[in-house]
Structure 1
Amino acid sequence: MKIAFLINNAFGIGGTIRSTANLSAAFADRHDVEVVSVHRSRDEPALPFDPRVRLTSLIDLREGSPGHEGDHPLTKLPGTMFPYTGATGNLPYTALQDERIGGFLARTEADVVIATRPDLNGYLARDGRRRYLRVGQEHLSLDQYGEPLRTDQNNAIAGLDAYVTVSEADAAQYRAALPHVTTAIVCVPNGVRAPAVERSTLDSQVIVAAGRLIPIKRYDRLVNAFAKVAAEHPGWTLRIYGRGPQKENLREQIDRLGLHDRAFLMGAVSPIETEWAKGAVAAVSSDMESFGMTIVEAMHCGVPVVATDCPHGPGEIIADGEDGILVPLDGDVDAYADALNRIVTDEALRERLGKGALEKADAYAPSVIARRYETLFEELSRSRRRGWDGAARLRQFAARAVRPRPAKAAPEAHGSAPTPAAHARATPDGGVTVLLDPAELPSGPLDFIARLRRDPGKRQVRVPVLPSADAPDTVSGATLHRVEHTLAEGRVPVLPSADAPDTVSGATLHRVEHTLAEGRWDCYVAPRGTNKRVRLTARMVEQAALVGRAPSVDQRGVAAWIPYATADGFLAVRSWLRPAHAEVDTVEVGDGSVTVTATLYGAAYGAAAPVGEGAVVRVVSRTDTAYDFSVAAWAVGERGFRFTVPYGEIMARRSVEHDLWDLHLGEVPVGRIGGDVVERRKTDLVPGQVFQHGERGRTRVRPYFTVNNELALSAKDVDEGAQ
Structure 2
Amino acid sequence: MKIAFLLYNAYGIGGTIRSTANLSAALAEAGHTVEIASVYRSRTEPRIDFGRGVRITPLIDWRKDAPGYEGGHPRLAEPTDMWPDPGVSNGPLAPTRLTDERVSAYLRETDAHVVIGTRPVLNGYLDRYGRRDYLRIGQEHVTLDLHTDQLAADQNAALAGLDAFVTVSEADARHYRRTLPDVATRILCVPNAVPAPEVSPSDLASKTVVAAGRLIPVKRYDRLIRAFAKVAAERPDWHLRLYGRGRNADALRRLVQELGLYNRVRLMGAVTPIETEWAKGAIAAVSSDTESFGMTIVEAMHCGVPVVATDCPYGPGEIITHGRDGLLVPLEGGEDAFADALLQLIDDEERRRAMGRAALETVRRYAPAAIAGRYLELIAELAAERGIRLPAAGAPAPRPRTLGDRLRSAVRALRPGRRSAPAPARPAARWTPTAHARATADGGLVVRVATAGMPHREHDLVLRLRKDEEGRSVRVPLPARDQAVDGRVEAVVERSAHTLAEGRWDAYVVPRGGQGRGRRVAAALVETAALVPLPPRSGADGVTSWVPYTTADGNLSVRTWLRPQHAEVEQVEVGEAAATVTARLYGVEAGPEAAVVAVSRQAEAYDFQAPVQALPDGRVSVTLPYDDVLARRSVEHDLWDLRLVPAPGAARVPLGRIGGDSADRRKTDTFPELEFAHADRGATRVKPYVTFRGELALSAKDRADEADGAAEAPGA
> TM (normalized to structure 2)?
0.92
1:9 aligns with 2:3: no
> What residue in structure 1 maps to residue 233 of structure 2?
231
1:193-592 to structure 2, matched below 5 A, reads: 193-385=195-387, 394-397=388-391, 400=392, 414=427, 416-467=429-480, 470-471=483-484, 494=485, 502-532=486-516, 533-592=518-577
Deviation readout 1:125-170 (Å, 9 max, x if unpaired): 1100111110000000000011211100000001100000000000
Deviation readout 1:658-709 (Å, 9 max, x if unpaired): 1111111111110000000111111000101111111111111100000001
> What residue in structure 2 maps to residue 47 of structure 1?
48
Q: Distance in 1 between matches of 2:81 and 2:323?
A: 49
- 1:635 corresponds to which of 608, 614, 621: 614
> What residue in structure 2 maps to residue 32 of structure 1?
33
Task: Kindly indicate whether the alpha-carbon contact (under 8 Å) linking 2:218 and 2:290 is maintained by their aligned counterparts in 1.
Answer: yes
Deviation at 1:248, TM superposition (A): 0.9
Superposition CA RMSD, Å? 1.7
Q: Distance in 2 between matches of 1:572 and 1:470?
A: 25
Q: Distance in 1 between matches of 2:128 and 2:173?
A: 22
| Residue identity matched to 2:18 | R
Q: Distance in 2 between matches of 1:636 and 1:544?
A: 30
Q: Secondary structure at the match of 1:186?
A: strand
- 1:143 corresponds to which of 139, 145, 150: 145
Q: Distance in 1 between matches of 2:562 and 2:482?
A: 35
Task: Kindly indicate whether the alpha-carbon contact (under 8 Å) linking 1:448 and 1:526 is maintained by their aligned counterparts in 2.
Answer: yes
> What residue in structure 2 maps to residue 476 of structure 1?
none
Q: Distance in 2 between matches of 1:234 and 1:587?
A: 14
Deviation at 1:527, TM superposition (A): 0.7
1:176 aligns with 2:178: yes
| Residue identity matched to 1:600 | L
Q: Secondary structure at the match of 2:538?
A: strand
> What residue in structure 2 maps to residue 479 of structure 1?
none
1:211/1:89 CA distance change after superposition, 3 Å: farther
Task: Kindly indicate whether the alpha-carbon contact (under 8 Å) linking 1:118 and 1:138 is maintained by their aligned counterparts in 2.
Answer: yes
Task: Kindly indicate whether the alpha-carbon contact (under 8 Å) linking 1:374 and 1:402 is maintained by their aligned counterparts in 2.
Answer: no
Deviation at 1:466, TM superposition (A): 1.7
Deviation at 1:403, TM superposition (A): 8.8
Q: Distance in 2 between matches of 1:308 and 1:378?
A: 37
Q: Distance in 2 between matches of 1:280 and 1:317?
A: 19
| Residue identity matched to 1:76 | A
Task: Kindly indicate whether the alpha-carbon contact (under 8 Å) linking 2:428 and 2:453 is maintained by their aligned counterparts in 1.
Answer: no
Q: Distance in 1 between matches of 2:83 and 2:364?
A: 38
Deviation at 1:188, TM superposition (A): 0.1
> What residue in structure 1 maps to residue 694 of structure 2?
709
Q: Secondary structure at the match of 1:680?
A: coil
> What residue in structure 2 maps to residue 475 of structure 1?
none
| Residue identity matched to 2:616 | G
Deviation at 1:240, TM superposition (A): 0.5
Task: Kindly indicate whether the alpha-carbon contact (under 8 Å) linking 1:582 and 1:601 is maintained by their aligned counterparts in 2.
Answer: yes
| Residue identity matched to 2:686 | V
Q: Secondary structure at the match of 2:86?
A: coil
> What residue in structure 2 maps to residue 72 of structure 1?
73
1:239/1:413 CA distance change after superposition, 3 Å: closer
| Residue identity matched to 1:208 | V
Task: Kindly indicate whether the alpha-carbon contact (under 8 Å) linking 2:293 and 2:316 is maintained by their aligned counterparts in 1.
Answer: yes
Count how many residue pairs are aligned between Structure 1 and Structure 2.
672
The unaligned stretches of length 5 or more in structure 1 are 386-393, 406-410, 472-493, 495-501, 605-609
Q: Distance in 2 between matches of 1:91 and 1:63?
A: 13
Q: Secondary structure at the match of 2:389?
A: helix
> What residue in structure 2 maps to residue 680 of structure 1?
665
- 1:660 corresponds to which of 639, 648, 652: 639
Deviation at 1:415, TM superposition (A): 5.8
Task: Kindly indicate whether the alpha-carbon contact (under 8 Å) linking 1:3 and 1:112 is maintained by their aligned counterparts in 2.
Answer: yes
| Residue identity matched to 2:247 | P
Task: Kindly indicate whether the alpha-carbon contact (under 8 Å) linking 1:425 and 1:432 is maintained by their aligned counterparts in 2.
Answer: yes
Deviation at 1:720, TM superposition (A): 9.8
| Residue identity matched to 2:49 | P
Deviation at 1:635, TM superposition (A): 1.1
Task: Kindly indicate whether the alpha-carbon contact (under 8 Å) linking 1:434 and 1:508 is maintained by their aligned counterparts in 2.
Answer: yes
Deviation at 1:637, TM superposition (A): 1.0
Q: Secondary structure at the match of 1:254?
A: helix
Q: Distance in 2 between matches of 1:567 and 1:72?
A: 31
Deviation readout 1:357-395 (Å, 9 max, x if unpaired): 11111110000000011111111112113xxxxxxxx23
Deviation at 1:553, TM superposition (A): 1.3
1:185-196 to structure 2, matched below 5 A, reads: 185-196=187-198
> What residue in structure 2 maps to residue 613 of structure 1?
592
Deviation at 1:536, TM superposition (A): 1.1
1:67/1:240 CA distance change after superposition, 3 Å: same
Task: Kindly indicate whether the alpha-carbon contact (under 8 Å) linking 2:32 and 2:394 is maintained by their aligned counterparts in 1.
Answer: no
Q: Distance in 1 between matches of 2:196 and 2:227?
A: 30
Q: Distance in 1 between matches of 2:278 and 2:371?
A: 22
Task: Kindly indicate whether the alpha-carbon contact (under 8 Å) linking 2:217 and 2:248 is maintained by their aligned counterparts in 1.
Answer: yes
Deviation at 1:613, TM superposition (A): 1.3
The unaligned stretches of length 5 or more in structure 2 are 398-423, 646-651, 708-716
Q: Distance in 1 between matches of 2:324 and 2:151?
A: 38
Q: Secondary structure at the match of 1:114?
A: strand
Q: Distance in 2 between matches of 1:402 and 1:92?
A: 37
| Residue identity matched to 2:640 | W
Q: Distance in 2 between matches of 1:194 and 1:55?
A: 23
1:402/1:374 CA distance change after superposition, 3 Å: farther
1:280/1:468 CA distance change after superposition, 3 Å: farther
Q: Distance in 1 between matches of 2:495 and 2:560?
A: 11
1:304/1:292 CA distance change after superposition, 3 Å: same
> What residue in structure 2 maps to residue 488 of structure 1?
none
| Residue identity matched to 1:457 | E
Q: Distance in 2 between matches of 1:468 and 1:7?
A: 39
Task: Kindly indicate whether the alpha-carbon contact (under 8 Å) linking 1:467 and 1:506 is maintained by their aligned counterparts in 2.
Answer: no
Task: Kindly indicate whether the alpha-carbon contact (under 8 Å) linking 2:6 and 2:122 is maintained by their aligned counterparts in 1.
Answer: yes
Task: Kindly indicate whether the alpha-carbon contact (under 8 Å) linking 1:164 and 1:185 is maintained by their aligned counterparts in 2.
Answer: yes
Deviation at 1:412, TM superposition (A): 7.3
Q: Distance in 2 between matches of 1:396 and 1:221?
A: 50
Q: Secondary structure at the match of 1:395?
A: coil
Deviation at 1:447, TM superposition (A): 0.8
| Residue identity matched to 1:395 | R
Deviation readout 1:187-233 (Å, 9 max, x if unpaired): 00000010110000101011110000000000000000000000000
Deviation at 1:469, TM superposition (A): 6.5
1:90/1:182 CA distance change after superposition, 3 Å: farther
Q: Secondary structure at the match of 1:136?
A: strand
Q: Distance in 2 between matches of 1:718 and 1:442?
A: 58
Deviation at 1:557, TM superposition (A): 0.3
Q: Distance in 1 between matches of 2:265 and 2:439?
A: 24
Q: Distance in 1 between matches of 2:706 and 2:299?
A: 45
1:121/1:418 CA distance change after superposition, 3 Å: farther
Q: Secondary structure at the match of 2:437?
A: strand
| Residue identity matched to 2:480 | P
| Residue identity matched to 2:504 | R
1:632/1:513 CA distance change after superposition, 3 Å: same
Deviation readout 1:457-501 (Å, 9 max, x if unpaired): 111111111237754xxxxxxxxxxxxxxxxxxxxxx3xxxxxxx
Q: Secondary structure at the match of 2:430?
A: coil
Task: Kindly indicate whether the alpha-carbon contact (under 8 Å) linking 1:467 and 1:504 is maintained by their aligned counterparts in 2.
Answer: no
Q: Secondary structure at the match of 2:452?
A: helix
| Residue identity matched to 2:467 | R
